[in-house]
Amino acid sequence: MLSFLDGLRGTALPGVIFKLLFAVILGGAIGFERSYKNRPAGFRTHILVTLGAAVASLTGLYLVKDAGLTDDVTRLGAAVVAGLGFVGAIVTRSSSVRGLTTSAGLWASGIIGLAVGAGFFEGAFLAAVLILLTETVLSGLVRRIRRDPEFRLELLLGEKEALEEALRYCKDRRLNILELQVRSEKREDDLVRYRAGITLRPRFKAQKEKLLTSIRAIPGVLELTEEDLETFVF
CATH classification of the domain holding 225: 3.30.70.260
* pLDDT above 70: residue 105: yes
* pLDDT above 50: residue 231: no
* pLDDT above 50: residue 229: yes
> Quick one: pLDDT at residue 55?
78
Q: Does some domain include residue 33?
A: yes
Q: Do residue 130 and residue 168 come from a single domain?
A: no
Q: Do residue 107 and residue 208 come from a single domain?
A: no
Q: Does some domain include residue 234?
A: no
DSSP output for 133-182: HHHHHHHHHHHHH--PPEEEEEEEESSHHHHHHHHHHHHHTTEEEEEEEE
Number of domains in the chain: 2
Bigger pLDDT: 102 vs 186: 186
Dihedral sign from CA coordinates of 12, 13, 19, 23: positive
Q: Do residue 61 and residue 168 come from a single domain?
A: no
> Quick one: pLDDT at residue 221?
92
Q: Show the domain range for 194.
A: 150-229
Report the predicted TM-score, pTM, of the whole model to 2 decimal places: 0.49
Report how far residue 180's alpha carbon sits from residue 163's, in angstroms, rounded to the nearest whole number: 10
| Phi-psi group of 83: left, alpha or beta (phi > 0 → left; psi -120 to 50 → alpha; rest → beta) | alpha
**Tell me: the pLDDT tens digits for 55-84?**
778 777 776 776 666 656 566 667 666 666
Task: With cut-offs at 50, 70 and 90, classify the pLDDT of residue 219.
Answer: very high
Q: Do residue 103 and residue 32 come from a single domain?
A: yes
Q: Does some domain include residue 202?
A: yes
Q: Do residue 134 and residue 222 come from a single domain?
A: no
> Quick one: pLDDT at residue 176?
85
Q: Do residue 187 and residue 172 come from a single domain?
A: yes
